[in-house]
Structure 1
């Protein structure tokens, strides 16, 4: 039988995930602060209904919002959904959050008779739309079983990292450390190359075939070549995500100097008014400081 699922957060990742659930035959509702996004999802086949009216019928809630504060507000805020869910419903929480926060949400959900899956996602908007994300998940066996149809619909790879919340978010922090550093390093290398007469296009053509490449380089550097900073993942995400990494590192007594250096570049980009642009726009910080002109800025 089809599950009754609400996806809360229809941004580039949530919208794609919601459509993947529709394709798999699940009865899927989509909710977002943007009425335009909700209307677009309903036009794509999503079910209609007010969240407070359908909450008690739901088998699962998939939360694809920006941060811990929004996740907690969805569940336990003044209009929080948790108290209206039926016992045994599963909450699949996909935002990048600290492991301690994931454990706190699991405990509060358990107290209400709900299942909770700590399930951060990775792969970008295209993989979300294609249903081939990587999901770093942790939770009880019952939570995994309840969420399996959602995981099958949205992911190519599901890493089962533990039998309680926390390890999923810990692994996502590790991933975000690398991803943020790789984006900043890409921007630094690309603009350094420009000082030596290497065009951004040549940089991509050569380095993407050499040992210095990374997935982030191959995905983000073409945005700089095209001069297109339409936000697939914005600059503003990184002060939050790298901030989580640095907070977790501090609590563990671990020094993370590369993360701190990347964090400063993203903060500089956000402080320069680039926060809403694609995160490849961190290259503009380097270009400005070196007196370089990036493609599209001439």
Structure 2
């Protein structure tokens, strides 16, 4: 009998992942969608093929009817709150796939609570921007029992993702450690690009030649972030692709995990200083990670916004 799936949390990434899960996941039953603001779930369901997705009123409803439950929320507090609600009910035999970017200790705590009640659990953060989620090009990092990961795999390659880096029969926190290390690379890259673009503005080189250099040398994600800076997307967008608050949360987790292991992530501390400036200027939930460019511009005596 085909499993029924549900999805809890519909941020930028989650919406793209849901789209591919519905369109390419060979689901025989409607995907149940829960979001704290139900209108967002209803609006998403309306964009999907008829009868393939259904907005539900509560977390309890999303879990009760489903066999596999995906959870993707913004931070540790939200994830703990969701699972506190979930675990009040009967979850024996259900598989939870936790895709949020959390501290490894938070994930381990939630996993133990779920498995103690007879559920299966996979920690599976993902790499990729919202555009990659829409394109089904995410990289999954699943950790947990191989038998549980195998139940997730039909929905990864060729559906929501293009590849996986698996920690089979390993601690759940391993996936989150790799996710945080990967995010440290992204923070460092964005900070380097932002400082370079701000210096190009200040020295008279100009944004276009510097962006051309970035595209020719690196391309890919470097070019995408460079475009967000030069085009002013970082201050014009109504909703951030990666908010300053979430980036600072990740930075704090990265620093804590590294410090506990006797390592350092010094560049991440620099990125966090810029992110604090972004939050102060644009708001922590409104400012985008690419706004580090605006923060670097301000430190160079220019406006945060590159609208001149």
TM-score (norm 2): 0.89
- C-alpha distance in 2 between matches for 1:25 and 1:82: 28
Cα shift at 1:214: 6.6
Cα shift at 1:11: 1.0
- C-alpha distance in 1 between matches for 2:220 and 2:107: 27
- C-alpha distance in 1 between matches for 2:19 and 2:89: 25
| Corresponding residue for residue 13 of structure 1 | 13
In structure 2, runs of 5+ residues without a counterpart are none
- After the TM superposition, which of the residue ranges 286-295 and 193-202 deviates more from structure 2? 286-295
| Corresponding residue for residue 171 of structure 1 | 178
| Corresponding residue for residue 68 of structure 1 | 76
Alignment of 1:1-298 (within 5 A): 1-23=1-23, 24-26=25-27, 27-45=30-48, 46-51=53-58, 52-76=60-84, 80-152=85-157, 153-164=159-170, 165-210=172-217, 213=218, 215-229=220-234, 230=237, 231-275=240-284, 276-293=286-303, 296-298=306-308
SS at match of 2:244: coil
Listed one character per residue, the Cα deviations across residues 186-223 of structure 1 (whole Å, up to 9, x for unaligned) are 1001111222212222211112212xx37442121111
- C-alpha distance in 2 between matches for 1:263 and 1:49: 37
What is the count of residue pairs matched by the alignment? 293
SS at match of 1:236: helix
- C-alpha distance in 1 between matches for 2:17 and 2:105: 25
Does structure 1 retain, via aligned residues, the 8 Å contact 2:294–2:306? no
- C-alpha distance in 2 between matches for 1:266 and 1:277: 9
Listed one character per residue, the Cα deviations across residues 127-173 of structure 1 (whole Å, up to 9, x for unaligned) are 11122210111110121122223324211111112313111101001
Does structure 2 retain, via aligned residues, the 8 Å contact 1:187–1:286? yes
* 1:108–1:295 Cα change, 3 Å: closer
- C-alpha distance in 2 between matches for 1:87 and 1:297: 56
- C-alpha distance in 2 between matches for 1:174 and 1:297: 34
* 1:181–1:173 Cα change, 3 Å: same
Listed one character per residue, the Cα deviations across residues 104-146 of structure 1 (whole Å, up to 9, x for unaligned) are 2221111011111110111111111122210111110121122
Cα shift at 1:294: 6.8
Cα shift at 1:91: 0.8
* 1:48–1:255 Cα change, 3 Å: closer
TM-score (norm 1): 0.92
Cα shift at 1:57: 2.2
